[in-house]
């Protein structure tokens, strides 16, 4: 209990101090701080693990807390307004500690045999043996975030940190509410808080999200980081009164989490960032930071994995997909680094604005080509598995996500929504991406609660909730947009 409380507070202190130092104020520091702290811990921990440092989890937690606190002190001494109310700080820390104790004591947990792969790697990390032991199966499929998140349990003779996943789920709900509140029309005033709270409760009560809130796996943390980065970049693109530096810092800390959690993480991070990166008004400095936040972790991790592969003869059971995965990850990482280098000197040319749409259409065309080459068997079986998951009556995901998806399609088609591509892109590209992954692994998804598609849906549900609720709040019907005067001038942006 002491260890888990210490871990939660280290993440909150480090991340919260960083977010406050970057200009965030109010209650948002709490959920954003916990997620930013998670990002700092994963970045520091991954670096230490890949360097073969002993006690990487302990050192990374210390680096997170001290780094964030040090940044805050530095900004304070420089004269920046980073003051925090003492009562709010004490309340936030005490509330987080109490939640940690309660969640641990609840004994609520869900798992699958994959969870054992992650927690076993966490033990090896904490013991300082990750580099000695890891093979191409785990390097290509399990990556670093989830093992690192649970590695501190080693210090108390356990195998996973019981409170951390539900704490991340609560922080996810908090960040969702914070973004929705800022997206609401100003005339809604305090009622916008109710809309934000409603969106948060809606997310947490989606039947399978409840499972993922306690699940020892990486789907929730991926979905969290994707939603938070999507919400942050949409606010950056559409709102003046937001803490811009803090949101950029949060995106820069969460995209490495996306890269380092799932096998498809590097692709997903690119999908999340792309629509915002190519906006004409995105600042050059911000563009460089976000590109580096994808390029550095992807290049470092997949270069390490490729080097490990060179020493593995033959490739171990289950790791046969490793070389292709490393090549894709490394290519994305290097491309992001090159783009970051170019972006330091050159603004994005205007034709780049079309790349999200071109990419999405390209993904569908690639899928059509694969269906033509390899047949429809994988496609049909995967479509059946998808419907089995989201069947509104019998599906384990419940009826809500189908309703949200339908509402989203209607809103996106029938109304003008500012910068809608940023908002919807990671949701709408999920379908072709999931099907391409099925063809990539030469295996259809199955009608099984343990099947990867059924679980991967958790990676987009937080963003689906965000995108639809925000769209419902800000959409302007197209007929009204055509009339002109009824539409605020600053809402006349293309969807």
Partner 1 sequence: MIARAPGSGHGSPGAPVRLLVVLGALATLIVLNVVQLVAIDASTPSTFAVFEERPHAGIVELSMVDGSNAASRYAMTLALGHLAPGSTVIITDDGEGLVDRVDERLYGYGRADQVREVGDDIAAELADLGAHAYVAASGPAGSRGPAWRIVLDDRNPPVLAEDDEGAVIDAIRAGDADDIAAGPARELALVAVAAGDPAYAGEPENVLVETSLLAGWDPGDAP
Least distance from C-beta 112 to partner 1, angstroms? Answer: 6
**Residues in region 120-149 near partner 1 by CB under 8 A:** 120-124, 127, 129-130, 132-135, 137-138
CB of 31 to partner 1, least distance (A): 19
As beta bridge partners, residue 477 has 415
**Which listed residue (211, 257, 385, 390) binds partner 1 by CB under 8 A?**
211
160 binds partner 1 (CB under 8 A): yes
Q: Is 220 helix (H, G, I), strand (E, B) or coil?
A: helix
x/- map, 297-336, partner 1, by CB under 8 A:
-------------------xxx------------------
3-class secondary-structure state, position 206: coil
Work out whether 229 is an interface residue with partner 1 (CB under 8 A): no
Binding test (CB under 8 A) with partner 1, winner from 24, 65, 169, 195: 195
Is 226 a binding residue for partner 1 by CB under 8 A? The answer is no
Classified as helix, coil or strand, 115 is helix
d(CA 162, CA 24): 29
Q: Between residues 85 and 350, which has the closer beta carbon with respect to partner 1?
A: 350
How many amino acids of this chain bind partner 1 (CB under 8 A)? 96
Least separation in angstroms between residue 192's CB and partner 1 is: 8
Bond from prior residue into 314 cis (ω within 30 degrees of 0): yes
Site for partner 1, residues 420 to 479, rule: CB under 8 A: 421-422, 449-450, 469, 472-474, 476-477
CB of 390 to partner 1, least distance (A): 12
Residue number, 374 or 480, with CB nearest to partner 1: 480
Nearer residue to partner 1 within complex by CB, 115 or 459? 115
Tokens for 354, please give them. Answer: 């079309």
Q: Which residues 163-192 are close enough to bind partner 1 by CB under 8 A?
A: 183-188, 191
Task: Tell me the sheet residues that pair with 416.
Answer: 476
Contact 459, 389 (CB under 8 A): no
DSSP per-residue letters across 31-56: HHHHHHHHHHHHHHHHHHHHTT-TTH
Q: Long-range contacts made by residues 377-382, C-beta under 8 angstroms, separation at least 24?
A: 377/444, 378/435, 378/438, 378/439, 378/442, 378/443, 378/444, 379/435, 379/438, 379/444, 380/444, 381/444, 381/445, 381/446, 382/434, 382/435, 382/438, 382/444, 382/445, 382/453
User: Which candidate, 231, 249, 241, 134, places its Cα nearest to that of 426?
Assistant: 231
- Taking the least distance from each CB to partner 1, the nearer of 116 and 414 is 116
Contacts with partner 1 in 352-381 (CB under 8 A)? 353-354, 356
CB of 421 to partner 1, least distance (A): 5
In the range 232-261, which residues lie near partner 1 by CB under 8 A?
Answer: 237-240
Stretch that binds partner 1, among 45-53, 207-215, 262-270, 374-382 (CB under 8 A): 207-215
Q: What is the DSSP letter of 415?
A: E
Kindly tell me which of 136 and 224 has the beta carbon lying closer to partner 1: 136
**Which of 40-48, 247-255, 338-346, 415-423 is the region at the interface with partner 1 (rule: CB under 8 A)?**
415-423
Tokens 């259409």, residue located: 361
Taking CB under 8 A as the rule, does residue 71 contact partner 1?
Answer: no
CA 287 to chain centre: 18
Per CB under 8 A, the list member of 39, 275, 295, 329 interacting with partner 1 is 275
> Looking at 66, 84, 89, 108, which residue binds partner 1 (CB under 8 A)?
108
- Using the minimum distance from each CB to partner 1, give the nearer residue, 60 or 126: 126
Query: What is the distance between the terminal CA atoms of the chain, rounded to a whole angstrom?
Result: 49
User: In this structure, are residues 212 and 223 in contact, taking their beta carbons and an 8 Å threshold?
Assistant: yes
Please say whether the beta carbons of 472 and 416 come within 8 A.
no
Shortest approach of partner 1 to residue 481 CB, angstroms? 9
Residue with Cβ nearer partner 1 (64 or 136): 136
CA 1 to chain CA centroid, nearest Å: 27
Half-sphere exposure of 123 (CA within 13 A, CB side): 10
Q: How far is Cα 45 from Cα 57, in angstroms, rounded to an integer? A: 6
Interacting residue with partner 1 among 20, 75, 162, 424 (CB under 8 A)? 162
Q: Among 110, 289, 303, 366, indicate the residue that binds partner 1 (CB under 8 A).
A: 110
Residue 487 in contact with partner 1, rule: CB under 8 A: yes
């Amino acid at each position: 209990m002491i260890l888990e409380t210490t871990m939660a507070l280290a993440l909150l202190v480090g991340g919260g101090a960083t977010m406050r130092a970057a200009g965030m104020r109010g209650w948002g520091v709490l959920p954003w701080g916990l997620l930013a702290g998670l990002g700092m811990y994963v970045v520091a921990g991954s670096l230490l693990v890949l360097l073969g440092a002993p006690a990487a989890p302990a050192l990374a937690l210390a680096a997170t807390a001290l780094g964030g606190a040090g940044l805050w002190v530095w900004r304070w001494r420089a004269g920046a307004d980073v003051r925090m109310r003492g009562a709010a700080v004490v309340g936030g820390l005490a509330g987080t500690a109490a939640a940690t104790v309660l969640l641990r004591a609840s004994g609520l947990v869900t798992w699958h045999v994959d969870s054992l792969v992650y927690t076993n790697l966490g033990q090896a990390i904490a013991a300082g043996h990750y580099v000695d032991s890891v093979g191409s199966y785990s390097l290509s499929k399990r990556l670093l975030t989830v093992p690192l998140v649970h590695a501190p349990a080693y210090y108390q003779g356990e195998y996973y940190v019981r409170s951390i996943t539900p704490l991340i789920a609560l922080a996810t709900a908090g960040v969702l509410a914070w973004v929705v509140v800022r997206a609401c029309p100003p005339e809604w005033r305090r009622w916008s808080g109710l809309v934000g709270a409603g969106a948060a409760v809606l997310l947490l009560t989606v039947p399978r999200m409840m499972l993922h809130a306690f699940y020892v796996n990486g789907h929730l943390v991926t979905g969290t980081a994707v939603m938070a980065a999507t919400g942050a970049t949409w606010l950056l693109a559409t709102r003046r009164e937001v803490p811009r530096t803090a949101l950029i810092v949060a995106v820069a800390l969460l995209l490495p989490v996306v890269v380092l959690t799932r096998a498809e993480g590097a692709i997903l991070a690119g999908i999340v960032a792309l629509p915002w990166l190519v906006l004409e008004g995105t600042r050059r400095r911000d563009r460089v930071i976000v590109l580096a936040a994808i390029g550095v972790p992807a290049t470092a991790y997949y270069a390490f994995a490729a080097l490990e592969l060179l020493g593995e003869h033959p490739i171990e059971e289950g790791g046969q997909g490793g070389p292709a995965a490393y090549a894709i990850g490394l290519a994305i990482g290097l491309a992001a680094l090159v783009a970051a280098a170019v972006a330091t000197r050159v603004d994005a040319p205007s034709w780049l604005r079309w790349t999200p749409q071109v990419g999405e259409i390209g993904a569908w065309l690639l899928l059509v080509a694969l269906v033509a080459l390899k047949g429809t068997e994988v496609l049909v079986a995967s479509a059946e598995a998808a419907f089995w998951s989201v069947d509104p009556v019998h599906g384990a995901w419940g009826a809500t996500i189908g309703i949200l998806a339908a509402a989203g399609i209607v809103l996106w088609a029938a109304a003008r929504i500012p910068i809608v591509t940023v908002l919807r892109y990671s949701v709408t590209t999920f379908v072709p991406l999931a099907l391409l992954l099925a063809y990539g692994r030469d295996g259809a998804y199955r009608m099984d609660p343990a099947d990867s598609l059924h679980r991967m849906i958790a990676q987009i549900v937080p963003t689906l909730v965000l995108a639809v609720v925000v769209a419902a709040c800000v959409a302007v019907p197209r007929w009204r947009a055509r009339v002109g005067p009824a539409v605020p001038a600053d809402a006349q942006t293309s969807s």
